[in-house]
Amino acid sequence: MKKLIYLLTFLALAFLLPAQTVEFEKDNFPGRKDELKAARKQLDIGIEFFMQGRREFDDFRRGFVSEFKYLPVSQYDYRKAGYKNFRDALSPLMEAQKFNPKNARLNYMLGFIWFISDPSNPETLKFFETVIKLDGEVEPDDYYWLAWAYHLNDKWDLAIQYYKVYLAHIQAKGKNPYEIDDVNKKIAECNVGKELSAKPERVFVDNLGSEVNTSWPDYGPSITADEETVIFTARRDNSTGGKRDDGDNGYYEDVYVSYKKNGKWQTSTQLSKNVNSDGHDAAAGLSPDGSKLYVYRHSGKDGGDLYESTLFGADWEAPVHMNKNINTRYHESSVSTSFDGKRLYFVSDKESGLGDRDIYYSDMDVKGEWGPAKNIGSMINTKYGEEAVFMHPDGVTMYFSSKGHNTMGGYDIFKTTLAPNGLWSKPVNLGYPINGPDDDVFFVVSGSGSRAYFASAKTGGFGDKDLYRITFLGPEKTPLLNSSDQLIAMRANPVSNLKVENEVEVKMAKVTILKGVVTDAKTNQPLESAIELVDNDKNVVIATFKSNSATGKYLVTLPSGKNYGLAVKRDGYLFHSENFNLPEGADYQEFTKDVALKKIEIGSIIVLKNIFFDFDKATIRPESANELERLIKLLNDNPTIKIELGSHTDSKGSDEYNMKLSDSRSNSVVSYLIGKGISASRLVAKGYGETKPIDTNDTDEGRQNNRRTEFKILEK
């Protein structure tokens, strides 16, 4: 009852003012008969196109009224509905507007068209505000669109005011409950917006520049964990096939790429003719090492499917349609993989979901195929829509966009973490200005966790949408400010004088990035090689990768909390091993480790970095098993070679003690190999003590390098 009284009071105040709308009638324009005739002709043309577009729009909107799909759908989806007719209506309506700018219904139509195409544009607000001034009841939903336009312009209180007017109206009229829920949700979004925008996050937002962005729409970025490659979607005039989409007249999507060299992004180019077809091809996700790309295509046979392409050498293979556990007759979109490539996260609107669009995951089976998909659960998925899933290489942090939870409007970006018990934490809104009142989607985070990449149509860009980088404010960049554009977190409180922001700690991700180039030790030519990642504590191979056949490059992400063994292998070469002990809480670090593989030749020496002994003893620890198995395989694959197992110590302790300990350890390894079926005649044990250091004995790291087990080929 109170809401109805509020509505009637508000409208009564409006009716106290004389009606100001001016109709296209001759009495209102004396002496301007010909001009009026021309204006009415343009008005009639515009109205015809507008009504056709509005019918398409309303039909589309009604299609989302169901138990799970709440009104309204996203701004992006709205642009598909009636777009062509609205576009054709705009020019004649604007001509009529020049003649008579005080017609409420005409201003309503123009405001509506502007809202569909560019809702935060000042023109949108101008037209809807004019409607209310001229005639508050020209259309039953004019208060709704005005409220939403205020909402999208961060005018929270005005938006709430007009949402409440419209809410009282539809409640009094007995409108359907889904529309009432929509308005109530929007009021809640405005309250969240007020709260979060009052405490903006301290971030820099930097355009990636004209080398990456163009005057055409550029969006949907995916990055490698080291931020050296960005792959994204664009709708440019050089798209493959050169065709335009009948729905919105934009060029078809293609996948583009830019590489960073010497800290600068290079000119973006189309990715590959193998990936880009004559239809829509959009980047849907990228593996952390940049070797697997996921592509979205819409064939017309279903809602849209996902494809996988692999980088072979210098080019990408033709995308392969993913299996039926991933693709359905519904719409599948964004993809992200776990750091080890064994789990795939994706988004689908299939009927088994909890709401409009849900996040699912699939695990790789023993055959290397993606298994049955499982819903990630109600902690993350809501009765509204989720989109743009991104699993960070740290193995525990997920970013995603959602219309549910505590959003500021449309899709907002949230973060959640995976606990050791397999449960996800309550999603946290990333705050303002990372999120705003419109759709915020496709947010990917660097391996370090200190930077993120996204697309925006913010003022000052190069085109429709541009790619931007967010830097979470910290010691790596001390800002000097003289305008609110440089630090958009200060948009609510712009500054005019120079100011130095205090440095704050940036919480880095708990992950290590290991990258480098695999080459032949003699020729320096790049080599394709297999790379095994081992959990030494469990003696389990947890992931396998390959270095690139054309460049030899590799990249591996190692979340904290494990002792990792890494082995680089290629037929005809001795394997190379590394060890990384990354305890819980180990902060982000990045290593470049170039690997020069040695051919199986007499005199070649390899350090076995994943053979471990008990302290001051010759007892081989269980976590050495995988390294020893690799050595056994090498010996079995090459039955004629004879090797020396040499053990070395650092300089701590007496010469005699160190020699005795190293002898015992080398003999322990030989005994282990004999026990596994290797002939004793092929093995020589040798202890060197501290006599052959390869590093200084004055530091902990140097002494660790000197404590080693290695093998040398004696005969081939």
Q: Which domains does the chain have, with CATH numbers?
A: 2-194 (1.25.40.10), 203-500 (2.120.10.30), 510-599 (2.60.40.2190), 602-716 (3.30.1330.60)
pLDDT for 3 equals 45
Answer whether 337's CB lies under 8 Å from 391's CB: yes
Per the rule left: phi > 0, alpha: psi between -120 and 50, beta: everything else, 431 is: left
pLDDT for 173 equals 80
Tell me which residue of 447, 352, 454, 462 sits closest to 413, measured CA to CA. Answer: 454
For 63, other C-beta atoms within 10 Å of its C-beta total 11
pLDDT for 615 equals 87
Q: Which residues pair with 568 in a beta bridge?
A: 531, 576
Q: Give pLDDT < 50 ranges for the chain.
A: 1-18, 65-76, 475-505
Q: Which residues pair with 315 in a beta bridge?
A: 312
Burial class (CB in 10 A: 0-12, 13-18, 19+), 45: middle
Answer whether 618's CB lies under 8 Å from 594's CB: no
Tell me which residue of 524, 561, 566 sits closest to 545, measured CA to CA. Answer: 566
Q: Which residues pair with 293 in a beta bridge?
A: 286, 309
User: What distance, in Å, lies between the first and last C-alpha atoms of the chain?
Assistant: 95
Predicted model pTM:
0.84
CA atoms of 492 and 436, how far apart (whole Å) = 12
Mark 593-605 as b/e (b = at least 16 C-beta within 10 Å): bebbbbeeeeebe
Which tokens sit at 217?
Answer: 């729409």
Strand bridging mode 358-363 / 374-375: antiparallel
> Which residues fall within 8 angstroms of residue 352, CB to CB, at 6 or more apart?
375
Which tokens sit at 8?
Answer: 């009637």
Beta strand segments in 40-166, E: none
Residues constituting the chain: 716
CA atoms of 398 and 390, how far apart (whole Å) = 6
CA 559 from chain center: how many Å? 18
CA atoms of 138 and 106, how far apart (whole Å) = 10
Burial class (CB in 10 A: 0-12, 13-18, 19+), 70: buried
Q: Which amino acid is at 157?
A: D
pLDDT for 491 equals 34
Distances (CA, A) of 232 to 250, 257, 258, 642: 17, 6, 9, 52
pLDDT for 176 equals 75
CA atoms of 481 and 575, how far apart (whole Å) = 53
Answer whether 709's CB lies under 8 Å from 651's CB: no
Burial class (CB in 10 A: 0-12, 13-18, 19+), 188: middle
CA atoms of 403 and 386, how far apart (whole Å) = 6
CA atoms of 695 and 705, how far apart (whole Å) = 6
Answer whether 270's CB lies under 8 Å from 276's CB: yes
pLDDT for 713 equals 95
CA atoms of 49 and 87, how far apart (whole Å) = 8
pLDDT for 73 equals 38
Residue in the block written with tokens 């899933």: 389
Side by side, the strands of the sheet bearing 683-689 are 605-608, 708-715, 642-648, 683-689
Angle between helix 177-197 and 142-152 (nearest 10): 30
8-state DSSP, 526:
B
pLDDT for 440 equals 86
CA atoms of 510 and 397, how far apart (whole Å) = 10
CA atoms of 385 and 381, how far apart (whole Å) = 8
pLDDT for 76 equals 42
Residue in the block written with tokens 């931020």: 227
pLDDT for 439 equals 83
Tell me which residue of 286, 409, 390, 299 sits closest to 347, measured CA to CA. Answer: 390
